[in-house]
Amino acid sequence: MFDEAIASYEKALTLNPGSAEAYNNAGLAYYAKGMFDQAIASYEKALVINPNIAGTQINVGLALHAKGMLDEAIARYEKALAINPGIAETYYNMGRAYYEKGNYSKAKECFDKASARGYKIDPAIREQRATGH
């Protein structure tokens, strides 16, 4: 299924190589297949076309996060927040990265910001963040 999507996006990009949306969508398909390097490369091409897409910055962060590159992921989440500070999911993802780094106070701060913006935090995560484990 994702192979077909990737092929379709690659074909679309030969017809319209200036489509940031097509590069982002191809990146989503690569990400879904666990092909994180290809996803990042595709997202980066989208950002060359339009560097002000918060969602694509978040997507790069998620792919870096999946690769265990937590500091780099946090930097991308921060770029996304600079573009649009209202996306609650960004704070949540950044909180997860800080949590995995063992910086529980920073993780709690991010989770609180996500919650304040309406993001529903899983009760198990809420409990972990409260206890620091």
Residue by residue, DSSP assigns 113-133 as: HHHHTT----HHHHHHHHHT-
Residue indicated by tokens 């990400």: 31
CATH number, residue 1: 1.25.40.10
Closest CA to 110 of 80, 53, 55: 80
pTM for the whole structure: 0.83
Please indicate, yes or no, whether residues 84 and 119 belong to a single structural domain of this protein: yes
What domain range includes position 80? 70-133
Residues 38, 94, single domain; the answer is: no
Rounded average pLDDT per 10-residue block, the chain, 133 residues:
75 80 92 96 96 96 98 98 93 96 95 85 52 46
